[in-house]
Structure 1
């Protein structure tokens, strides 16, 4: 009996130890899940800090929270609570006397930092963006763009109706373009092309970077009139006025012809399959048989990977009822639009270069 009792006691001890370990693991997973659930709180805290320009006030050195509150016209005690919360996740650093300084993360919230995220943080908390994300359930249930459901109009029209939010959106996209343009020009040799047509190129920051890197190339920037209004100044300030033409129009109807390369950065992900196909077919009609197509987009990775790409994919559902795509989906899209997929080239940014050429006529 003694031996049996000892055996049972030992077995119970082992079982109890396993159960305790499992409980601790479950608790840790539960805590991590709670952190993810509360991620919206971090987004809003960063939005508020960026809107107030807190990081810019810290560029010259540490400041006490009361001085920051005065500079930001904020309630002192409440601003301290915001800064304390952001310091706890590494955006700022709190020292004795409630003095705050920038960390490497916080530096990226300043207006002039390389890879600045300030304008993006300001934009994501605007009513059109924030309220639409609050209705994500509608998009998942219906497959429809959530902004239209939330605001009554599509995202483009909403921003046209709210110029203050449009300005923040444009600033956020321009900041992204500045970071991404360098990655794209480093990943691909654009110098092989004589004339490069940038379809939907916005204010022209990518095309400017390409032309500066390729002194023999010429460019044509093509977008809607209200978008290209400031582009001429961008090229003139870079000494490129004689090498780049700015043209306005509707890429669903027609794009400039006779280019050697047609580039589109972050255009196709704004549209569903039918619209994206029409844009590509419009390019195909304008392109010589020897021209190349270069679609610069996020490429969603394999299952259980690429959290950033998949989050941006949900953002496309929310804003436009559109999507990011996998490499296989890009191949199918190009094939249905009259192109052959040549290769997919990653860059050191989240974007890849999807290279296509006109398919031979059947």
Structure 2
């Protein structure tokens, strides 16, 4: 006969709730642990097999007892596993920290576990109370100005963005009905990862990667490696001032999250002023539900990170529709989840009255 009492059940439930909240409070500890693992290249050293903490410590010149404790903590959050005492392997989640993985997020982990982000988040209270960007409050300059002055970190940031966009780029390239000919202009296209995915299977299609000078710094190498130099241009500029004209399809992916509404409208109006009346605009990014839920926590992480670092935000479908209407566009369709975790909003210039 069971001796479990209602009080025992209640206590167990409360303990589970308590543990759940404590895990969330300790989220920054997990981030630091993953960041150190990425920085040390532990996933590359472990590979598809398993390694002892002594072996890993010798190769990274780390303090073995401390490294072993780090690896055990990563076991607890599903990044590594310990098949036998002191020997560690990667889980499917942890394998994404391998540099040679096609799904690698190692540079993404290194970038977003960088001290500039941790330090900014320590001033979240300042942002919540004032509406001012924590990054600016801490560093006395904007994040993109800071990156422009720190070349090594800027390169890491661009590479991290490329890693993050690789899967959604492939899914967008396969899932959207791109034209077989014409010119695609990728506004804020970074190193050309997205445009490469679009152009490779469409040999008659041409492209232009457009971004800031630091943003497109790696684009020539990406396009050259893909054999696309002859049909894809790289142009540097400021999308608040001008964008390339004459395109048939304009794409803005994961850009508006970096900016507040005034800046977002300014970007859209610049694009509207330079694109042909016959062209189409695709906005690719997160579309939040009208009321928050637990289905996609990463979207809300990103939203708050934008608030802290750039002053930007994620938006609902209704908010996107308002921005587009106010900037001279008519929404033609909204494909929720059409690019993996990202959605695709298709809009066209609204005819002049």
Shift of the alpha carbon at 1:28?
1.6
Task: Give the RMSD, CA atoms, in angstroms.
Answer: 1.7
Match of 1:66 among 54, 65, 69: 54
| 8 Å Cα contact 1:145-1:322 kept in structure 2 | no
SS in 1 for 2:97: coil
2:293 pairs with 1:304: yes
Whether 1:116 and 2:104 are equivalent positions in the alignment is: yes
- Aligned position for 1:10: none
Q: What is the deviation of 1:70?
A: 0.9
Structure 2: 5+ residue stretches without partners:
none
After superposition, where does 1:225-236 map in structure 2 within 5 Å?
A: 225-236=213-224
- Length-normalised TM-score, structure 1: 0.92
Distance in 2, matches of 1:220 and 1:161, equals: 26
Would you say the 8 A contact 2:48–2:89 is kept in 1? no
1:313 matched to 2:303? The reply is: yes
**Runs of 4+ that moved beyond 4 A:** 16-20
Deviations 1:228-287 (A, max 9, x none): 233223222212111111112111111111111110111111111111111110100111
Gaps of 5+ in 1: 1-15
Q: Give the CA deviation at 1:104.
A: 1.0
Structure 2 residue corresponding to 1:292, chosen from 272, 280, 285: 280
| 2:324 corresponds to | 334
Instruction: Please give the TM-score of this superposition, normalised by the length of structure 2.
Output: 0.94
* 2:170 is equivalent to residue 179 of structure 1: no
User: Could you give the per-residue CA deviations for residues 46-74 of structure 1, whole angstroms, max 9, x where no partner exists?
Assistant: 00000000010011521111110011111
Please say if 1:168 is aligned against 2:156.
yes
The aligned counterpart of 2:88 is: 100
- Once residues 118 and 171 of structure 1 are traced to their aligned partners in structure 2, the CA distance between those partners, rounded to angstroms, is 10
Structure-to-structure mapping, 1:204-243, within 5 angstroms: 204-243=192-231
Q: Which of the pair has more CA radius of gyration? A: 1
1:157 partner SS: helix
Aligned residues: 347
Choose the corresponding residue for 1:57, options 45, 55, 77: 45
In the alignment, structure 1 residue 253 sits paired with structure 2 residue 241: yes
Correspondence for 2:65 among 59, 64, 77 = 77
Contact 2:181-2:205 within 8 A present in 1 as well: yes
- The residue aligned with 1:9 is none
**Secondary structure of the corresponding residue to residue 100 of structure 2:** coil
Query: Is the Cα contact below 8 Å between 2:332 and 2:346 reproduced in 1?
Result: yes
Matches within 5 A, 1:5-154: 18=6, 20-59=8-47, 61-154=49-142
Match of 1:349 among 321, 327, 340: 340
